[in-house]
Amino acid sequence: MESIEKLIGNLNRLPGIGIKTAQRLAYHIITMPEETVFELADSIADARRRIRFCPVCGNYTEDELCEICSDPKRTQDVLCVVKDARDVIFMERMREFHGRYHVLGGVLSPMDGIGPDRIRIAELIDRVQNEKISEVILATNPDVEGEATASYIAKQLKPLGVRVTRIAHGIPIGGNLEYIDEITLFKAIENRREM
Amino acid sequence: MESIEKLIGNLNRLPGIGIKTAQRLAYHIITMPEETVFELADSIADARRRIRFCPVCGNYTEDELCEICSDPKRTQDVLCVVKDARDVIFMERMREFHGRYHVLGGVLSPMDGIGPDRIRIAELIDRVQNEKISEVILATNPDVEGEATASYIAKQLKPLGVRVTRIAHGIPIGGNLEYIDEITLFKAIENRREM
């Protein structure tokens, strides 16, 4: 059955969905009420269609500016620098950071040919110079590339007279922001150190 | 972001997809190339739209008759009786059964009010009487309801003079056809016993 095979193949391409899971999901989907299935399909296409990147911070948004950049209650002069837009969600879950974000869209990785011009470092420097930023918290992952990126950015920003801090190593080395609980993440922000 | 929340909710409704997995998938989907996402969405709706049940055996099909019923190379006089259409796929993976199927669309379950008239037993009796069937292999799951259903069907079919067999108890008791490897399933067919 061609349509099922195609569906299994497409599901199997998603991260963490092996062939067995893809088959199980596909055979479940075809037994679901038709309207539920069409709503699932529509919500997939719709989310992709409507999501874009905030031109200020690089976060996901459905509107012109993202929810955080357009919120006047956020502390305007503190920026938290993260690797990608999903990290904003992990930080926000903590509910203890009230500043704004700057999404790099990647980290420096000489092995993969990703230099400073391939991620949003120039945009960060622009923001620090033009948005009266008093502190930049570097919250890239505590792995080799994340540390190297943080060091590089710190070196670029310090001459501008802004306070540059790094989230504390409460986070396990080699870890990933996605899998860290809110309390550890809160500690990591609390114990941030000067760079 | 409303569209993302909606997508996460819909993914979370799928079996085996918890909230964390739904979030991970949703945030992955919005970073995938647009055409890949639309193809995924289309294949979900399309599979549901095109799949129906074979009027002869009750298996899934996209055409008038299913692939197995319309295949003249299948042994015509042996029927394998399974609980639902997904079981046909698990049996076919074994590649050692060359007869045709009869999908019950459930098993007897007095607790849930599912009696003989709620599953396709009358249709099975019709087929045995009209399609020159020499053997019916009962391949319902080896759990309480599957065994009770097999016993009930055996009692109905034996007066018709057809050979009625049950797949062997090579399959672990309480198990489910979905999670059994091909070799065990092959042994279970090989060691089928008279009922």
Q: pLDDT tens digit string along B56-65?
A: 999 999 999 9
**In the predicted model, is pLDDT for residue A170 greater than 70?**
no
Residues 6+ apart with CB under 8 A from B149: B83, B104, B107, B108, B119, B138, B140
**In the predicted model, is pLDDT for residue B172 greater than 70?**
no
Express each pLDDT in A76-112 by its tens digit.
999 999 999 989 988 888 788 999 999 999 999 989 9
- Mean pLDDT, chain A, whole residue set: 90
- A32 CB within 8 Å of a chain B CB: yes
Mean pLDDT of B124-133: 96
Comparison of pLDDT for A128 and B86, the residue scoring more: A128
Task: Please tell me which of the candidates B1, B17, B25 has its beta carbon nearest to residue A62.
Answer: B1
Task: Please tell me which of the candidates B28, B61, B89 has its beta carbon nearest to residue A15.
Answer: B28
Q: Give residue B58's pLDDT.
A: 95
Q: Give residue B173's pLDDT.
A: 63
Question: How far off is chain A from B24, nearest CA to CA, in Å?
Answer: 8
Q: Which of B2, B11, B40, B181 to mutate to test the interface with A (most CBs of A within 10 A)?
A: B40
Q: How confident is the model at residue A45 (pLDDT cuts 50, 70, 90)?
A: very high
- Mean pLDDT, chain B, whole residue set: 90
CB–CB of B44 and A89 under 8 A?
Answer: no
Provide the percentage of residues in chain A whose pLDDT is more than 90.
72
Q: Give residue B22's pLDDT.
A: 95
**In the predicted model, is pLDDT for residue A175 greater than 80?**
no
Q: A 92-121 residues with CB below 8 A of B?
A: none
Q: How confident is the model at residue B169 (pLDDT cuts 50, 70, 90)?
A: low
**In the predicted model, is pLDDT for residue B167 greater than 90?**
no
ipTM greater than 0.90, yes or no?
no
Residues 6+ apart with CB under 8 A from A12: A18, A19, A22
Q: How confident is the model at residue B182 (pLDDT cuts 50, 70, 90)?
A: confident
Express each pLDDT in B141-162 by its tens digit.
878 899 899 999 999 999 999 9
Comparison of pLDDT for B113 and B170, the residue scoring more: B113
**Strand ranges inside B83-187, DSSP E:** 100-103, 135-138, 163-166
CB–CB of B89 and A23 under 8 A?
Answer: yes
* C-alpha span between B92 and B139 (Å, rounded): 13
Token pair in block for residue A92: 């926000």
**In the predicted model, is pLDDT for residue B174 greater than 80?**
no
* C-alpha span between B122 and B45 (Å, rounded): 33
Token pair in block for residue B53: 């049940």
**Long-range contact set of residues A119-123: C-beta below 8 Å, sequence gap at least 24:** A119/A149, A120/A58, A121/A152, A121/A153, A121/A156, A123/A58
CB–CB of B7 and A45 under 8 A?
Answer: no
Task: Please tell me which of the candidates A13, A40, A85 has its beta carbon nearest to residue B10.
Answer: A40
Q: How confident is the model at residue A171 (pLDDT cuts 50, 70, 90)?
A: low
CB–CB of B51 and A15 under 8 A?
Answer: no
The label of the residue with tokens 């396990």 reads A172
Phi, psi of A175 (to 5 degrees): -80, 180
Mean pLDDT of B158-167: 92
Q: Give residue A183's pLDDT.
A: 72
Q: Give residue A188's pLDDT.
A: 72
Q: How confident is the model at residue B42 (pLDDT cuts 50, 70, 90)?
A: very high
- B45 CB within 8 Å of a chain A CB: yes
Residues 6+ apart with CB under 8 A from B55: B64, B65
* C-alpha span between B156 and B181 (Å, rounded): 31
pTM of the predicted model, to two decimals?
0.69
Residue B9 backbone class (left: φ over 0; alpha: ψ -120 to 50; beta: rest): alpha
Express each pLDDT in B94-127 by its tens digit.
788 999 999 999 999 989 999 999 999 999 999 9
